Amino acid sequence: MPPSRDHSGMIYLQETDSLYIFGGRASSDSKDSLLNDMWQFDFTHMEWTELSPTGPTPSPRFLFSYVPWNGLQGTGEPQLLVYGGSGFDEQANSLKFNDAYLYSFRNNAWTMFLENNCDDVNDAPNLFLGNLFMQILVGLSAIVLVVGLIFAARACHRTLRHYSPSQPGQPGYQSINQR
């Protein structure tokens, strides 16, 4: 029986009267919790089987897109098309994929359909520059906020001091009833 998971793919294939599950996330956002396993539930025998597909297996991932694929004409062998998703690198930094794989139910085999080319977004220099940019932006926002609060407080203090009511009998005191 497959381990519990979320953000996985599940598809029913009428030709085999089976349910197939691929990938997902087992528990948390750690890199070790991601899955790239393939399971089949055979309704004829009412049992789960973990499959061991051949070919280039997609890296462990979750939040991917998937769709049944029967070729361009829709009349070919049934396959599963898996595209993109999220994952983690060795340091547990978030990764985004834009690769695509076809899984052949008949051959129990993966084929890479589209190679991942998102590495430039996830490489160390761009991650560093993106994080640095965000830190500078947050820092500047904090400075603008503090300076704005200081000017507002000073202006408010001057206004209150200038318009503070005097006591009756002192210069500047006016009553609403006076004309």
- Whether 31 and 78 map to the same domain: the answer is yes
Structural domain of 142? 123-164
- Whether 74 and 129 map to the same domain: the answer is no
pLDDT, mean of residues 67-81: 85
Q: What is the pLDDT of residue 19?
A: 95
Residue 177 forms part of a structural domain:
no
Q: What is the pLDDT of residue 131?
A: 54
Side by side, the strands of the sheet bearing 109-114 are 65-69, 79-88, 94-104, 109-114
pLDDT, mean of residues 63-91: 86
Q: For residues 34 and 6, what is the distance between their CA atoms, to the nearest angstrom?
A: 10
Strands 79-88 and 94-104: antiparallel
- Whether 112 and 127 map to the same domain: the answer is no
Q: Residue 101 pLDDT > 60, yes or no?
A: yes
Residue 175 forms part of a structural domain:
no
CA distance readout (Å), 36 to 39, 86, 108, 125: 10, 12, 14, 28
- Whether 112 and 27 map to the same domain: the answer is yes
Q: What is the pLDDT of residue 111?
A: 93
- Whether 112 and 135 map to the same domain: the answer is no
pLDDT, mean of residues 4-10: 92
Q: Are 71 and 77 in contact (CB under 8 A)?
A: yes
Q: For residues 175 and 161, what is the distance between their CA atoms, to the nearest angstrom?
A: 18
- Whether 64 and 99 map to the same domain: the answer is yes
- The pTM for the full model equals 0.63
More confident: 14 or 167: 14
For residue 18, the domain's CATH number is: 2.120.10.80
Q: How many domains does the chain have?
A: 2
Q: For residues 97 and 65, what is the distance between their CA atoms, to the nearest angstrom?
A: 11
Residue 4 forms part of a structural domain:
no
Residue 170 forms part of a structural domain:
no
pLDDT, mean of residues 45-52: 97
- Whether 75 and 157 map to the same domain: the answer is no
Q: What is the pLDDT of residue 31?
A: 65
Q: How confident is the model at residue 116 (pLDDT cuts 50, 70, 90)?
A: confident
**Residue 157 structure tokens:** 């203090």
pLDDT > 90 in the chain, percent: 37
- Whether 27 and 68 map to the same domain: the answer is yes
Residue 73 forms part of a structural domain:
yes
121-153: burial string, b at 16+ Cβ within 10 Å, e else: ebeeeeeeeeeeeeeeeeeeeeeeeeeeeeeee
Q: Residue 57 pLDDT > 70, yes or no?
A: yes
Q: Residue 119 pLDDT > 60, yes or no?
A: no
